[in-house]
Amino acid sequence: MDKKSKKEELLQQLFTRKMETADATNLPVNPVGSLTDILKKLVAAFPPGCFCPPSQQTITQIKSALNDLLIWSTSAPISISLKLELQNAINAVKNQLDANPFSCCETIQALESLEIVLSKVLGALQIGTSQQVTILILLQQLQSLFAG
């Protein structure tokens, strides 16, 4: 199915719902899954207690969730500039996780920047209130994991 057909199918799906709120995090054009699921995976990747220094398993799990988020961002229903900002923030965290020597402070700063961009993404998504609240709670959980 070509891109135009996917767009037409999506528009038809939206119009047949008679102006119901579209679930932008679960649309079929999103191959990785919903943003909610990705954020749950990212939150779950952090160990209880202190994050620093992270184990290799923790780094692998965080990077896996970030890779999913990076893929999600390519088809996210947000502006191109916000997609680029999100992708840059994701890559900044991944770069910090790979840095040698590892810097806890710089990694936490990159995570905080990512959380800010994710908040902008949430504001740009055309989703229902209950979905916004769910994602906002996940963002707050994420922030609490590395807030000092």
- For 42-58, how does the pLDDT look when each residue is reduced to its tens digit (9 = 90+)? 999 998 877 788 999 99
Tell me, yes or no, whether 71 lies in a domain.
Answer: yes
Q: What are phi and psi of 51, to 5 degrees?
A: -80, -35
Residues 115, 146: Cα–Cα separation, whole Å: 10
Tell me whether residue 29 is in a domain.
no
Phi and psi of 75, rounded to 5°? Answer: -115, 10
User: For position 64, what pLDDT does the model report?
Assistant: 96
Residue 108 within a domain: yes
The confidence band for 130, taking pLDDT boundaries of 50, 70 and 90, is confident
Decide if 6 is inside a domain. no
Average pLDDT over residues 107-131: 90
* Position 9 in a domain: no
User: What is the pLDDT averaged over residues 122-133?
Assistant: 84
Mean of pLDDT over the chain = 81
Torsion, CA 21, CA 41, CA 83, CA 129, rounded to 10: 20
Q: How far is CA 26 from CA 35, 38, 62, 127, in A?
A: 8, 11, 22, 10
Q: Do the domain assignments include residue 122?
A: yes
**Is 0.85 surpassed by the pTM of this model?**
no
Task: Domain of residue 144: give its range.
Answer: 35-43+54-148
How far apart are the C-alpha atoms of 125 and 134, rounded to whole Å?
13
Least confident of 23-27, 37-41, 87-91, 105-109: 23-27
The upper half-sphere exposure of residue 146, i.e. CA atoms within 13 Å in the direction of its Cβ, equals 24
Residue 142 in any domain: the answer is yes
| Residue of 145, 147, 148 whose CA lies nearest to 42 | 145
How many domains would you assign to the chain? 1
Q: Is residue 19 part of a domain?
A: no
